[in-house]
Amino acid sequence: MPPASGSRSALRAFFRWSKPVTDLTDLGVRELRDGIRAGTFSAREVADSFIVAVSKAKQLNAFLVETPDHAVAAAKEADAARAAGETLKPLAGVPIGMKDLFCTKGVQSAAASHILEGFKPEYESTVSQKLWDAGAGMLGKLNMDQFAMGSSNETSYFGNVISPWRRADGGNAPLAPGGSSGGSSASIAARLCPAATGTDTGGSIRQPAAFTGISGIKPTYGRCSRWGIIAFASSLDQAGPMARDVRDCAIMLEAMSGFDAKDSTSLQLDVPKWEAGLNASLAGKRIGIPKEYRVDGMPAEIEALWQQGIDWVKDAGAEVVEVSLPHTKYALPAYYIIAPAEASSNLARYDGVRYGLRDLPEGANLQEMYAATRAAGFGAEVKRRILIGTYVLSAGFYDAYYTQAQKVRTLIARDFDRAWETCDLLLTPTAPSAAFALGEKSADPIAMYLNDVFTVPSSLAGLPAMSVPGGLDKSGLPLGLQVIGKALDEQGVLDACLAIEERAGFRARPEAWW
């Protein structure tokens, strides 16, 4: 093992002496980037280490497609650039994981669905292209909830992702890695990649990050282009990075963000230097604690962690104030109208004609082909949401459901605007529980939906929000804290999470059993 907290020179001496390839997987994005730049190790050694780790971790089912050639090519380019004395790109030689929702040219992009199985896009999503332009390489495509619909990674057509974490009760029950970005969270926690892309529609970056003891940020709606991301609910979908710490998320987010003319909702703004701007002092900041987030039945450990978080931000210099977000309880029902409505519309494109699966029963006409294809190609949760969406948009119900939900959404956004009159950021738990066992909630859709109670309101308002590990529960499972910021204040969110990270000193990691 390398020295746990050694200086860079000690680390360098160690690697020069012994080159223990597998230990490179313990390093994060910044350490890998800086080590490759300094020549402490080569990008090729880094790529090879992670490729081996991925290949050994089949039991986790985190990767749907492995792309070692892609990672090696990026590594070779980084090593050649360094050998030639060139300035290295921001992520030169850093291998990452790519959620299967992102279209990657020539590599299956199926949104973990059957209907898109075998779909190899002829184009590259803007966000993934930006990462490749920054010098990153791809280790593979990451499993997820089918079409990003789920909170436990149990709706993938290609099987559940198993969390690398286990309860300390010796029972070894397979746990959910969270969802929908469950392949991303599991693979980062298991050291199969230092960072990965995620997407967040109602909490799909933050809840899996909390379940697996890593960090993840959903930026302001419009920061990351949605072009080439398989659409779920377009007014909510937003890409963001997941990684082991706050700084690594800042580095990744800088590479992923930026204006894109191909996305009509892309924000035409320069990308801030979030990494350089990191500042863990919260002096002068007012942090709001929304009283409506103290929900009934919240475990005492979550309550205690939240109080601990309050003490940490106070210690970092922040003033803590109580605020009210009165429409919080209506956020989930509004979300479960708006998101399925948009999904039913977006998923109408899967018709068995242009791409993906076609099911053409003997003698079937065109309409029957559509219906058979969609029946065979969509999983149960996806069908459920398409049906809900179709229902709430159907003649006679549109105003009662969809228009009413969009009005409530206005009120939810207004709640946040009022809160910003007395505070700069909000601090809440990320999820109402630690990771649950696979199968524990899958029979009850509403129980599953309630998992997103703390993440959905900020999604509906398009605000930046981040989950950072806070500690472990009594079963030894990670718990996360969430910081929500004003629109475009990713820096404030990252800073507050950094202050929490420094005080939480979260070092726990799952013991390798896979």
Least spacing, CB of residue 467 vs other proteins, in Å? 20
What is the footprint of other proteins within residues 469-508 (CB under 8 A)? 487
**Which residue of 48, 79, 237, 351 would you call a contact of other proteins, by CB under 8 A?**
351
Nearest C-alpha neighbor of 255 from the set 128, 71, 141: 128
Q: Any bridge partners for residue 432, and if so which? A: none
204 is a catalytic site residue = yes
235 vs 308 by CB, closer to other proteins: 235
Span of 155-163, 176-184, 290-298, 357-365 interacting with other proteins by CB under 8 A: 357-365
Least spacing, CB of residue 312 vs other proteins, in Å? 30
**Which residue of 55, 73, 88, 235 would you call a contact of other proteins, by CB under 8 A?**
235
324 vs 406 by CB, closer to other proteins: 406
**Which residue of 370, 420, 436, 506 would you call a contact of other proteins, by CB under 8 A?**
370
* 107 forms part of the interface with other proteins (CB under 8 A): no
Nearest C-alpha neighbor of 370 from the set 380, 379, 360: 360
61 vs 113 by CB, closer to other proteins: 113
30 vs 383 by CB, closer to other proteins: 383
State the catalytic residue, choosing from 204, 215, 225, 433.
204
Binding track over 270-309 against other proteins, x by CB under 8 A: ----------------------------------------
For the chain, the C-alpha Rg in angstroms (whole number) is 22
Least spacing, CB of residue 184 vs other proteins, in Å? 24
Edge to edge, what strands does the sheet with 137-142 contain?
Answer: 63-66, 137-142, 95-99, 195-200, 238-243, 215-218, 465-472, 478-485, 425-429, 286-290, 319-323
Q: Any bridge partners for residue 104, and if so which? A: 107
- d(CA 79, CA 36) in angstroms, rounded, equals 8
Is the Cα dihedral 50, 53, 57, 60 positive or negative?
A: negative
* 400 forms part of the interface with other proteins (CB under 8 A): yes
**Which residue of 85, 446, 505, 511 would you call a contact of other proteins, by CB under 8 A?**
446
**Which residue of 50, 227, 401, 506 would you call a contact of other proteins, by CB under 8 A?**
401
21 vs 371 by CB, closer to other proteins: 371
CB-based contact 496:483 (threshold 8 Å): yes
- d(CA 377, CA 82) in angstroms, rounded, equals 47
180 is a catalytic site residue = yes
Span of 28-36, 51-59, 313-321, 349-357 interacting with other proteins by CB under 8 A: 349-357
Q: Which contiguous run of DSSP H or E holds residue 243?
A: strand 238-243
Nearest C-alpha neighbor of 250 from the set 29, 95, 98, 509: 29
**Which residue of 13, 88, 298, 371 would you call a contact of other proteins, by CB under 8 A?**
371
- d(CA 159, CA 147) in angstroms, rounded, equals 14
What is the footprint of other proteins within residues 9-68 (CB under 8 A)? none
Span of 55-63, 179-187, 310-318, 374-382 interacting with other proteins by CB under 8 A: 374-382
DSSP line for 116-165: TTT---SS--HHHHHHHHTT-EEEEEEP-SGGG--SSS---TT-PPPPS-
